[in-house]
């Protein structure tokens, strides 16, 4: 009988855990065979005077199809460029270092753009504006910290684990 109460206690305790606690408790291996469902995460980018998010970007993680396709394309293009050049970029020169920085920054931007599946809080004349990839790219140009916030959120796998 005591075993039953202990079992019941741990079941109750597990139902009140947050994701970090559940991750520490272990990963349900049954999730490996579960149907893949996209897990999204909201990345706030604009805040009101009280610090509450008023606008942001909704992203999917590195396990998503969007990320995998974009990452594969970036890597394949890099290999093709390297093969055409037949030499590595000489980062010891100013020109080579700038080329390398541009390549890395461009790849990071492409990956960040690829995982944004929606946005919230963006309006035009008071009406919500649907996600527009061209506007999103322009926003990343004007506000590079938005891209950094997406990249940072993307790196935190716990944002996308469905427990």
Which pair of structure tokens corresponds to residue 3?
């075993």
Asked if pLDDT for residue 22 goes beyond 60, the answer is: no
Q: What number is the average pLDDT over the span 130-144?
A: 97
CB contact at 8 A, 143 and 135: no
Q: What number is the average pLDDT over the span 115-131?
A: 96
Asked if pLDDT for residue 24 goes beyond 80, the answer is: no
Q: pTM, whole model, 2 decimals?
A: 0.74
Asked if pLDDT for residue 47 goes beyond 50, the answer is: yes
Q: Output 17 or 58, whichever has higher pLDDT.
A: 58
CB contact at 8 A, 140 and 112: yes
* Range of lowest pLDDT (10-14, 17-21, 26-30, 151-155): 10-14
CB contact at 8 A, 70 and 110: yes
d(C-alpha 154, C-alpha 118), whole Å: 15
Beta carbons within 10 angstroms of residue 61's beta carbon? 21
**Cα angle: 154, vertex 156, 159; to 5 degrees:** 85
Residue 25 binned pLDDT confidence (cut-offs 50, 70, 90): low
Residue 5 binned pLDDT confidence (cut-offs 50, 70, 90): very low
Q: What number is the average pLDDT over the span 132-148?
A: 97
86: left (phi over 0), alpha (psi -120 to 50) or beta: left
Looking at residue 88, its pLDDT comes to 72
For 91-127, b/e burial (b = at least 16 CB within 10 A) is: eeeeeeeeeeeeeeeebbbebbbbbbeebeebeeeee
| Cβ-proximal residues to 90 (8 Å cutoff; 6+ apart), any chain | 96
Looking at residue 17, its pLDDT comes to 55
Looking at residue 80, its pLDDT comes to 84
Which pair of structure tokens corresponds to residue 65?
């199809």
Strands (E), 23-137: 40-47, 53-60, 116-120, 123-124, 127-128
């Amino acid at each position: 009988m005591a075993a039953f109460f202990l079992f019941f206690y741990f079941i109750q305790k597990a139902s009140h855990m947050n994701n970090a606690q559940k991750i520490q408790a272990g990963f349900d291996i049954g999730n490996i065979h579960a149907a893949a469902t996209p897990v999204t995460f909201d990345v706030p980018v604009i805040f009101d005077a009280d610090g509450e998010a008023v606008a942001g970007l909704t992203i999917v993680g590195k396990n998503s199809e969007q990320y995998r396709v974009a990452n594969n394309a970036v890597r394949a293009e890099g290999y093709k460029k390297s093969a055409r050049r037949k030499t590595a970029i000489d980062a010891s020169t100013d020109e080579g270092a700038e080329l390398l920085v541009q390549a890395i920054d461009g790849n990071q931007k492409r990956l960040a753009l690829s995982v944004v599946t929606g946005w919230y809080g963006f309006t035009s004349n008071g009406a919500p504006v649907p996600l527009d990839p061209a506007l999103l790219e322009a926003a990343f140009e004007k506000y590079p910290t938005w891209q950094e916030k997406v990249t940072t959120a993307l790196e935190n796998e716990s944002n996308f684990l469905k427990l």
